[in-house]
Amino acid sequence: MSEPDIVTLLATGTTLNGSASDLASEAASRAALLFVSELYRKTFNKKKIVREEPPKLHMSVNPSGADRSNDSVQAMYDLSKKWCITVRFTQTGRMKALLGYVLRFDQAAKAVDGQE
């Protein structure tokens, strides 16, 4: 990948290989989502809630750039502090589910240093 492609991928989540109209429509849809969420908060006096505990469910949409057949949605749910389940759905109809054991390196580093 060229340097401009890498910078664009990091900034927008897509590469320059897609057409300009694809990039513009993705940027417009992201801006519209941010606008609607802020408008909802201001209209109904909803404050942005910041919780001490992180959410148990994490969702992400993974656009594939110009080839829309590889788009996917991924959800990760924390079952406990050490176990999580990850499910990925692709646009072509495939599904992959993984059960994972989570290693927390920050706690291990504190235990080694004797800070805990």
- Residues 43-97: tens digit of each pLDDT: 998 887 777 777 788 888 887 766 677 788 899 998 888 889 999 998 888 899 9
Residues 103 and 58 in one domain: yes
Residues 38 and 69 in one domain: no
Residues 89 and 110 in one domain: yes
Residues 75 and 113 in one domain: yes
Residues 37 and 77 in one domain: no
pTM: 0.45
Share of the chain above pLDDT 70, in %: 70
Q: Residue 42 corresponds to which tokens in the numbers above?
A: 């201001």
Q: How far apart are CA 23 and CA 9, in angstroms?
A: 11
Residues 45 and 63 in one domain: no
Q: How many domains does the chain have?
A: 2
Residues 112 and 90 in one domain: yes
